[in-house]
């Protein structure tokens, strides 16, 4: 549970009353706070912050004063129009999902900070409770499931001579390898891969 304390991101920003701390900047500070305090995973907070900062950059200063009543579909449409061909449909859907979840948490906290719980916590708790109730039921079909064929057999096979392995040095002591690139990779396909990677990047 997150309470409105002195270190809370929107307890007294700029000396304004709680009900007025609903701007785009307050929203971003709120996401930073959730990650810093471990209320949600840092990676999750960072991914949501990136989506929020990029998408809500389309808002005017007046619109950014209170983001709790945004029409997400309308804002995402504007974002797509201002960034034509830069994001794949999958990337746009990812951004929309992250913005929606983050905004729901921000609204909830703005309305009632005392009883606020991040939406991710609720899901984790429900999943944990569900796992605790399943062991006795899952014992019977053990032999049957072990005899079933592996699901990997349905995956498409890759002809190794037609793929490439590309090392990319990101940092001084960190090199990642992109495996499976076809030698005849097109610009359109390369841009699609780049857009998916960008959707997972955190702001500097």
CB within 8 Å of 68: residues ≥ 6 apart: 22, 103, 106, 107, 110
Measure the CA–CA gap between 76 and 58, rounded to whole angstroms: 9
**Residue-wise pLDDT tens digits, 161-178:** 555 667 777 677 777 777
pLDDT value, residue 155? 41
Q: What is the DSSP string of 144-183?
A: HHHHSPPGGGGSPP--GGGEEEEEEEEETTEEEEEEEEET
Segments making up each domain of the chain, as ranges: 13-133, 159-198
pLDDT value, residue 127? 52
Which segments in the chain show pLDDT lower than 70?
Answer: 1-20, 120-165, 170, 179, 183, 202-204
């Amino acid at each position: 549970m997150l309470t409105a304390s002195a270190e809370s991101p929107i307890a007294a920003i700029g000396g304004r009353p709680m009900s007025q701390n609903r701007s785009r900047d307050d929203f971003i500070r709120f996401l930073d706070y959730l990650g810093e305090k471990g209320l949600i995973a840092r990676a999750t907070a960072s991914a949501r912050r990136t989506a929020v900062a990029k998408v809500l950059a389309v808002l005017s200063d007046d619109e950014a004063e209170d983001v709790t009543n945004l029409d997400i579909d309308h804002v995402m449409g504007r974002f797509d129009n201002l960034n034509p061909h830069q994001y794949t449909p999958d990337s746009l859907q990812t951004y929309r999902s992250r913005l929606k979840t983050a905004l729901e948490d921000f609204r909830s906290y703005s309305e009632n900070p005392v009883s606020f719980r991040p939406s991710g916590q609720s899901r984790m708790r429900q999943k944990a409770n569900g796992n605790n109730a399943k062991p006795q039921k899952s014992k019977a079909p053990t032999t049957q499931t072990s005899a079933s064929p592996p699901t990997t057999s349905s995956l498409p096979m890759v002809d190794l001579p037609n793929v490439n392995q590309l090392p990319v040095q990101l940092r001084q002591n960190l090199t990642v390898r992109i495996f499976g690139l076809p030698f005849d990779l097109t610009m359109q396909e390369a841009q699609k891969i780049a857009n998916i990677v960008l959707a997972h990047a955190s702001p500097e």
